[in-house]
Amino acid sequence: MGGRAGGGYRRGMRIFPGIVLAMAAVVLTACSGGGGETAADRSSTTTGATDTTTGTTSTAAQQDCAAGYLAQFTLRQKLAQLITVGVTDAADAENVVRTEQVGGIFVGGWTDKALLGQGQIDAVLAASRTPLMVTVDEEGGRVSRLRDLIGSAPSARAVAQTMSVEEYYQLSLERGRKMKALGITVDFAPDVDVSSQPDDSVIGDRSYSDDPQVVTEYAGAFIRAMNEAGVGTVMKHFPGHGAGSGDSHTGAVRTPPLAQLLDRDLVPFRGLIESGAAVMIGHLDVPGLTTPNVPASISPEVMALLRTGTGYGAAPFDGVIFTDDLGGMAAITDRMSIAEAVESALVAGADNALWITTDAVTSVLDRLEQAVASGRLPDSQVDASVLRMARFKGTGPRC
């Protein structure tokens, strides 16, 4: 998301350390059955739940915990956990959370900042039955939705040219703490694209450098700082927008072939895949990877590449996969409706579909329910994504 100056694309909960912990064990041992029973209660009543010699929880107990957590949701509520939508103000946010229990809201350039600056987010959080993601696109430079609230920051490129990695870590930590105090829980940053494009191009100065190692070092400092501040991070735009042919806001974008991305664009993702950050998939046509006219954000092949890691030499990834904005970027909207795009993304393997308005939430959820009923979107896949989202949101009785 982001990239254009006029464009737009997150207090009260423990947020987003969970993804940095061991995957299934953390989620499942942190779960409750939704009725006040803790994981400790469950392990004490489940035969063989804990191996007293190792202190590990058995697979049966983990499965029991997961089932108990998932049982608190209807199918529609599970599906709602897998969408994040842009809001205009506090009333819009509270309405969509209360009526459909969406998993996340997005604070864009068009959003009334009184939602954050005047503490109106509290009523929105109170309307949600589970921890709510409050997300923003705050990179610094020209992609800064919060400069009026927390001050401005240099672009990524300017940072890498003028600051040490440690100085950038300290700056990011200070800004992350300010974001958390406002109620932000997830920042759709850092941009880990590797690019030498002019500053004002779609990626341009949003990229730290055209050197993949420099990108990895500075992006890693940002992720580490935000983790410490309690704000989740999302690396973008997988598998690499830095050498793309254009701007996905305005139309289809083609990258170099996958073979050319391996030693450049994919290097930061490979180096940071175990950092605790989620990953955002771009609307990119990638020769040698995506099917023609099927952008990466709705491509099963791209999701599989990220999940397994074997196709680009990385560790497997079981964190959250977000789509880029599905509702305001022509690379998607020229091809399909928002309901079609959301279904396609989740079927392909994304965990969370993002778009910038609340208008279509009901119709999207209607379609997703139909997709599950028809078998196009398997129940097991929905459950796995709900659990990943729970891990990303934090630990405790709600997993």
Q: Which residues are catalytic?
A: 249, 324
Residue matched to tokens 């793309």 = 244
Specify whether the CB–CB gap between 194 and 129 falls below 8 A.
no
Strands 143-144 and 138-140: antiparallel
Cβ pair 383, 70 in contact under 8 A: yes
Give the burial class of 356: count Cβ atoms within 10 A of its Cβ; 0-12 exposed, 13-18 middle, 19 or more buried.
buried
CA distance 278 to 275: 9
Q: Distance between CA 144 and CA 206 in Å, rounded?
A: 11
What secondary structure does DSSP assign to 26-45, as a single string? HHHHHB--SSS--HHHHHHH
Strands in the chain per DSSP E: 83-87, 104-107, 133-136, 138-140, 143-144, 186-187, 232-238, 253-254, 278-281, 284-285, 321-323, 353-355
DSSP secondary structure letter of residue 18: G
Q: Report the C-alpha gap between 392 and 147 in whole angstroms.
A: 26
Residues contacting 51, CB < 8 A, separation 6+: 57, 58
Other beta carbons less than 10 A from residue 80's beta carbon: 25
Q: Which residues pair with 322 in a beta bridge?
A: 280, 352
